[in-house]
Amino acid sequence: MKHSLLIVLTLASGMALSAAAQTPAVSAATPSATDAAGPSKIAVITFQLAVAQTNEGQRNFADLEKKYEPKRQALKTLSDEIDTLTKQLQTQGATMSDADRASKSNTIDTKKKQLDRDAQDAQNDFQQDMQDMYNSLASKVYDVMQAYAEKEGFTLVLDVSQQQSPVLFASTSTNITKPVIDLYNEKSGVPAPPPSASTDAPKPAAKPAAPAAKPAAH
């Protein structure tokens, strides 16, 4: 039952975000006047954190959690039912007839298979919705980041949240994560979530999957 319960509890975590993360990479753009002259000015950003910690990202994740809450409760109810039946079989099995013992054992096996199947389906749906939500928001945050970088004269922006990031050290002054979050919040007009919702916002893993290409729109 520990394995089944683990699958159930997975739905309650923000782990799906790592699987959903498809971070836009900085594309090769036409050289600008800034690129043609003067020393390079480099910035770093934890892009997935920027996306997740925008007011819109926190709001959307909270909405997604609410959408799947009934399914989570249904899975937990089924898991608890299996635990109860299993304990009954363990404590009362010796006094049961062979037929009753076999019947209860079959019932437990059937419910376990149902739990695994339903939990897997729910988790797949949750991860797909998370990925769709992230990709849509990431594209918009990317636009804000690009505009900010160009305005500030940065010639290169490195995503330090990526698994294969070559950055070993970066001065705090070069990190544009918070300015990009603040600028996006101002542009989107989405208010900050209540403190309780904010603390439940998804936190991207430090080493997510390899980045996908920048959205085709760019």
Sheet strands (E) in 152-204: 156-159
CB atoms within 10 A of CB 22: 19
Tell me which of 59-63, 112-116, 212-216 is least confident: 212-216
74 vs 16, higher pLDDT: 74
How confident is residue 22, by pLDDT bands cut at 50, 70 and 90?
A: very low
- How large is the greatest C-alpha to C-alpha distance in the chain, in angstroms? 88
Does 218 reside within a domain? no
Tell me which of 62-76, 86-100, 185-199 is least confident: 185-199
Does 212 reside within a domain? no
Strands 42-45 and 156-159: parallel
Query: What is the predicted pLDDT for the residue at 178?
Result: 96
Q: What letter would DSSP give residue 160?
A: T
How confident is residue 37, by pLDDT bands cut at 50, 70 and 90?
A: low
Does 107 reside within a domain? yes
pLDDT tens string 123-147: 999 999 999 999 999 999 999 999 9
Does 211 reside within a domain? no
Rounded Cα distance, 7 and 10, in Å = 5
Tokens of 126: 């949750």
How confident is residue 162, by pLDDT bands cut at 50, 70 and 90?
A: confident
Does 207 reside within a domain? no
Among 93, 120, 97, 94, CA closest to 108: 93
Does 215 reside within a domain? no
Around 50, how many Cα atoms within 13 Å sit in the side-chain half-sphere? Answer: 29
Rounded Cα distance, 33 and 107, in Å = 72
* Domain ranges, residue 163: 2-199
Does 210 reside within a domain? no
pLDDT at 173 over 80: yes
What distance lies between CA 168 and its chain's CA centroid?
25
**What's the domain count of the chain?**
1
Check the CA dihedral 203-208-214-215 and report its sign.
negative
**What average pLDDT does range 48-56 have in this prediction?**
96
How confident is residue 38, by pLDDT bands cut at 50, 70 and 90?
A: low
Does 28 reside within a domain? yes
**What average pLDDT does range 74-100 have in this prediction?**
92
